Amino acid sequence: MSTRIKIIGIAPPTIVEAPMPLDDSLRWNSTHENNLAPRAHVFLPQSAYAKCVTHTKSDLENEVGGALIGQVRIDPNTERQYIFIQDILPALYTKAGQTHVTFTQDTLVHLNNEVEDRFPRQRIVGWYHTHPRLGVFLSSYDTWLHHHFFNDCTQVALVVDPYHEQGGFFVWQNDCELDPIHYTGFYEWSDVSDDSVIEWNNLTPQVDEAALELA
């Protein structure tokens, strides 16, 4: 019986080995990429992006937020780490105001239970929340929350301004610092459409120079 309990309680693999799906992805850059040395790159499927846009646009007055669910992966060829976001979980039991969303203890317990029940092979790879009209940055409270609850070096914070249609990821740097101003883009993974579905206007798609030369 004790063996069985251990099997039921088995944690998802810490890091999954899988090549970066670069062929099916479009890289989106922020204007801050040169200031950043991310510990992990971010891959975001179009299906998860669409859910995130729907939730973040649902309230243009108050902040909303939730968890990013997925896998931590390592590319066996380059040994680069990346996170692959597979779904989002809107948070319950938050205390929302115009300038802050608070993840209470109940929020975190609920999110962890949901992941265990619905996404047994996945983990919380980060969190997202909105800053309606305020822009993309981490407040001092956001930074405190990220340090206390999302301090694994691959966990990320996505901030969305749904009013201005902007978004960006805050990631732990190679020196284990968190930059609250400079955010990074991500790789849009095409699981729905060959055409891009990204509508955040503060990011720009990376031009494939090899393709340009062929054209």
**Residues that bind Zn ion in the complex, under the rule CB under 5 A:** 139, 142
Q: Nearer to Zn ion by C-beta: 139 or 202?
A: 139
Q: Nearer to Zn ion by C-beta: 98 or 113?
A: 98
Determine the residue with CB nearest Zn ion.
142
Both structure tokens of 205: 């798609």
* C-beta separation of 83 from 70 below 8 A: yes
Query: Count of alpha carbons within 13 Å of 34, Cβ hemisphere only?
Result: 1
Q: Nearer to Zn ion by C-beta: 139 or 173?
A: 139
Minimal distance in Å, beta carbon 207 to Zn ion?
32
Q: Nearer to Zn ion by C-beta: 142 or 161?
A: 142
Q: Nearer to Zn ion by C-beta: 84 or 183?
A: 183
Distance CA 63, CA 136 (A): 13
Minimal distance in Å, beta carbon 142 to Zn ion?
4
Exposure class string for 45-77: b at 16+ Cβ within 10 A, else e:
bbebbebbbebbbeeeeebbbbbbbbbbbbbee
Distance CA 85, CA 69 (A): 6
Minimal distance in Å, beta carbon 99 to Zn ion?
8
Distance CA 153, CA 150 (A): 8
Minimal distance in Å, beta carbon 134 to Zn ion?
8
Q: Nearer to Zn ion by C-beta: 87 or 142?
A: 142
Minimal distance in Å, beta carbon 89 to Zn ion?
18
Distance CA 188, CA 195 (A): 10
Minimal distance in Å, beta carbon 58 to Zn ion?
17
Residues sharing a CB contact under 8 Å with residue 139, sequence separation 6 or more, in sequence order: 99, 100, 180
From the DSSP assignment, how many helices (H) and strands (E) are in the chain? 5, 12
3-state SS assignment for residue 120: coil
